[in-house]
Amino acid sequence: MAVQQVDHIAINSFDMKESLRFYCEVLGLEKGKSVDMGEVILNYVVLPDGSSIELFEFKDHGFYQTLSSSENAIKHIALKVDDIEGMNSELIRNQVPFEMELCELTPLGVKALLCKDPNGVIVELSEKLI
């Protein structure tokens, strides 16, 4: 028995419209299904490898104010991209805030950047160095 791949990453979304715009329009991912679970709607964004980002949309918007920092605790999510320069330009064009500008991380063998999604989650985008 072994872990084979990431299935999904769950994120509390404070603004679903902006979250979907960021992941689908800015990052170019595909909108998947939405599932109504009663108190929450799960909106999926599908990555090319079949894994997904699961965006939680609470029907009671007051719920977000009750979350502790540990319930919002996601260090970052990391996504491999095939054109980091183009993605960097798209992020700048969309005024996405950066945590770390595009740079070469030679010890890791990648070019990478860190940006923030509309929920404050840090998203790492990286491409292998040639």
Q: Quick one: pLDDT at residue 115? A: 95
Q: Quick one: pLDDT at residue 73? A: 52
CATH code of the domain occupying 8-128: 3.10.180.10
How is the chain split into domains, by residue range? 8-128
Three-state SS at 117: coil
Taking residue 46's Cβ as centre, other Cβ atoms within 10 Å add up to 17
Q: pLDDT, tens digit, for every residue of 60-113?
A: 766 656 666 555 656 688 888 889 999 999 999 999 999 999 999 888 888 999
Q: pLDDT, tens digit, for every residue of 30-41?
A: 999 999 988 889
Contact in structure between 92 and 45 (CB atoms under 8 Å):
no
* pLDDT higher than threshold 80 for residue 27: yes
Would you give the DSSP letter of residue 19? H
Taking residue 86's Cβ as centre, other Cβ atoms within 10 Å add up to 12
